Amino acid sequence: MIPHLTRNVPVAVICNISETFYDFLSRAGEESECARLVHGEQYRGDRALLWVGDPKLLIVSLPIPHASDLMRRLGYEGTTYLAPAAPSPWLSLDILREPALLQALVAYAGPERTVQLVPYATTPQFMQLVATLREAHGLTILLPESPAPEALWLRDYIDTKAGFHLLVPHWLAGEATLPRAIVCHSQEEAASVVHWFISQGQPCLVKADDGENGIGNLVIQPDAGASVMEHLNALRYYSFLSEGWLTVEAFIPSSGRLSPSLELFVPPQGSGIPEITYVCNQLFLAFGDFCGVLLSRDLLAARWYAPLAESGLRIARGLQEMGYVGHFDLDAVVDDEGRLFLLEINARRTGGTHAHEAGHFLFGPAYLEQVALLSHDAMSSGALTSSEALLACLEDLLYPLTEERTRGVIITGTSALAVGEFGCLIVAPTTEEVIDLQQQVKRRIAQATAVHPTATEHRSLIAGG
């Protein structure tokens, strides 16, 4: 059981990832591109099987092909999952619209008619679901990871780039370094700021205020010939920068791609102090394209860890005083000179929460003393297009590989196999061993694709590749 949950009260998880980001993703322009991005968020719902331990009721947007296998192998025997028959981007509204889902959630509250609801993020749609359960069905709803209604603005505000740069320096009072940043109210103003950065020979990054997963970020390198109007045209061309405030900040180079992230949990004020849940190094397929995390005890000894932890706890205490409740992570980068820069906050469950909570469930709160964890959300599945084929291909690598139960591959995502991806969590005693096991997985997939290339070729043709 995760410490902040109430024992003996049923827990229901609402994995409303696409709901959280739909308004932003709808700026994609083409309806097909928006749909692709929304599905990309919904695919990540598979990993919620590992949230909050066991037992639980999990509601996700899409069916999870490997769910029964994972629950059997790992011991999540009290976990049940459901998905809407006709999913939309708004899972909370899907539950209200489909009687089978709503009735299952009401029934799960049991004879005490009480249930703890844990969302990916606390959205207006989620709060609409909460209100209906309370008012129309008479349930007592506990929200251990959600701010009170009057503080929901804070969750939204600190999640923005402008909110981060306006609130965090106040709490840290010069004790940590943020990239130099200027918040702009229009594209025209941002283009002038970009021109100023470039005139100083400084690469810069233009960020949409509510961007996520690298979407809405535009890197601009120094170009002596570019005018303000040319910069403005570049901003206008990128549809995700078309609305809201824009932040232009100095681009921090990190040739080693060292991007630590610290997750914390903030309880309600008066109910405890904020605590660090985990620290990780983020993994990216390309600039800003998040694909996973590495959790290892080695990171705790890194020179940047102590100042990151101190900054995170200061921010958490400041948020708690203002009424925030729930998880957030503090993303950072370590530049080529070893300096730590704080970049942004994500006010929700994060890309490594499932890995941390799986470690907690399998090994206890001190899991890093036994294992390192490498989570990858977007591994290529090559020619493998079904969960059965994937599990068969990796059977002798699947967790647990040893009697000590400290090594193996946990499949965390299979709903994206149709687009050539799967997710996994790799467990081994050391960082070096998890990386070695990851390479074994890649080689195994490549071998299967070499024998049966047809599906991969077909996907490439569909994509125009």
Q: For residue 459, what pLDDT is reported?
A: 39
User: Would the pLDDT of 26 be above 90?
Assistant: yes
Band of pLDDT at residue 291, cut at 50, 70 and 90: low
Beta-bridged to residue 140, according to DSSP, are: 114
pLDDT tens digits along 233-263: 999 999 999 999 999 999 999 988 899 999 9
Rounded mean pLDDT of 322-328? 98
CB 433 within 8 A of CB 426: no
Task: Give residue limits of the domains in the chain.
Answer: 11-145, 180-250, 370-465
User: Would the pLDDT of 285 be above 80?
Assistant: no
Q: Is 175 helix (H, G, I), strand (E, B) or coil?
A: coil
Q: pTM to 2 decimals?
A: 0.94
The residue with greater pLDDT, 287 or 262, is 262
User: Would the pLDDT of 224 be above 90?
Assistant: no
CA 255 to chain centre: 23
Q: Is the peptide bond before 400 cis (omega within 30 degrees of 0)?
A: yes
Task: State the average pLDDT for the chain.
Answer: 93
Q: Which of 120, 114, 121 is nearest to 137 (CA)?
A: 114
User: Would the pLDDT of 465 be above 80?
Assistant: no
CB 61 within 8 A of CB 22: no
pLDDT tens digits along 357-386: 999 999 999 999 999 999 999 899 999 999
CB 372 within 8 A of CB 294: yes
CATH class for the region spanning 180-250: alpha beta
Band of pLDDT at residue 456, cut at 50, 70 and 90: very low
Q: For residue 462, what pLDDT is reported?
A: 31
Topology alike, domains 180-250 and 370-465: no
Check whether domain 370-465 has CATH 1.10.3470, yes or no: no
pLDDT tens digits along 411-450: 999 999 999 999 999 999 999 999 999 999 999 999 999 8
**Residues counted in the chain:** 465
CA 88 to chain centre: 20
CB 240 within 8 A of CB 251: no
